[in-house]
Homo-oligomer: A and B are copies of this chain.
Amino acid sequence: MKLTQLQYFKTICEYNNITRAAGKLHVSQPSLSNAIKELEEEFGISLFYRLSKGLTLTKEGEVLLEEATRLLEQADLLVSRMNVIRRESQIVKLGVPPMLASLIFPKLLHSYRSSFPNARLQMIENGTLTNKTMVTDGTLDAAIISCDGFLPAAFHYTDLLLFRIYFYVSGQNPLASQTSVDMEETANLPLVLLAEDSFLTDYLMQYYKAHSLTPNVIIYTNQIATIRQLVENNTAMTFLFENILEPGENIARLAVRNLPAIQTKLIWNANKKISSATQNLIRLSKINYQQSSVPD
């Protein structure tokens, strides 16, 4: 029994006429005739009364029609579901923190699109903390995060780049003449920080707390452009990775002596199947950054 035979059978039933069914199916009429014969032989029953004018279903044929219709519907369902799956499997939902959206994502997107033109990278902007949650619950296929050391076993990852944390101040600010700063010095200065679900803000606040310092945060925002303006105006100062704001006339960049460089990683759920598109992205990241950490 083959699906084509059943499809042929069903179409013939719709017309009660092999010739017309053949036209509809774009096959020759003897092919259909043969398909029916094969079904009849396989099941040991006769499906049609052969009349001079067309055919009529037998009692047994009616049963086969009923079952064949069900089976073909199920087959159609399978095909359309697979079509959905194909499309879905070509979309990677990638969580990207605002700061890394400009540092890492553009390059990744570019090389991904050139390697896999059919696939789509869907970027969702979130802080590192939110990203982790969304990777865990499956909302995201993968995420770019910042990370210092420990990462739960629920995540697999590959390392991307290391970034130093810099302290950015207005060019008009007296601090602009220094090349570096201690964390302790920054506690009393007016700060603009990334939103509270960002790794950097979380990291800094933990540092302050650990050293019993209370920072003077005047605003949290995810908008890098906003941060830049506040710094340029000398309204506030900020911590950001290197290369986020270009040092120049209006902005000075100071190294932070007490802080190590921060590792950025591409993470994905260790306990879930990952789509081929996601897998491609991972592979590409490993190749681009030459730092494999877990096997595929």
Residues of chain A having any CB pair with chain B under 8 Å: 1-3, 43-46, 49, 57-60, 62-64, 67-68, 70-71, 74-75, 77-79, 81-83, 85-86, 89, 272-276, 296
Contact = CB atoms under 8 A, between A and B. Distances in A.
Contacts of A62: 273
A63 B82 contact: yes
Given A59-B274, A275-B59, A78 B82 contact: no
Contact of A67 (B64, B68, B78): B78
A74 B77 contact: no
17 contacts: A2-B2, A2-B3, A45-B276, A46-B276, A57-B273, A58-B276, A60-B86, A60-B275, A60-B276, A62-B273, A63-B81, A63-B82, A63-B85, A64-B82, A71-B71, A71-B74, A71-B75
A86 B49 CA distance: 16
Contacts of A296: 49
Q: Would you call the interface of chain A mostly helix, strand, loop, or mixed?
A: helix
A49 B81 CA distance: 21
A276 B63 CA distance: 14
Given A43-B86, A49-B296, A273 B81 contact: no
A270 to B, nearest CB: 14
A68 B64 CA distance: 21
Given A43-B82, A43-B85, A59-B273, 20 more contacts: A1-B3, A1-B75, A1-B78, A2-B2, A3-B3, A44-B86, A45-B85, A46-B276, A57-B273, A58-B273, A58-B275, A60-B89, A60-B275, A60-B276, A63-B81, A63-B82, A63-B85, A67-B81, A70-B74, A71-B74
A57 B276 CA distance: 11
A57 B85 CA distance: 14
Contacts of A81: 63, 67
Interface centre among A46, A49, A75, A81 (most CB of B within 10 A): A75
A66 to B, nearest CB: 9
Contacts of A45: 82, 85-86, 89, 276
A78 B83 CA distance: 26
Contacts of A78: 1, 64, 67-68, 70-71
Nearest to A6: B78
A60 B79 contact: no
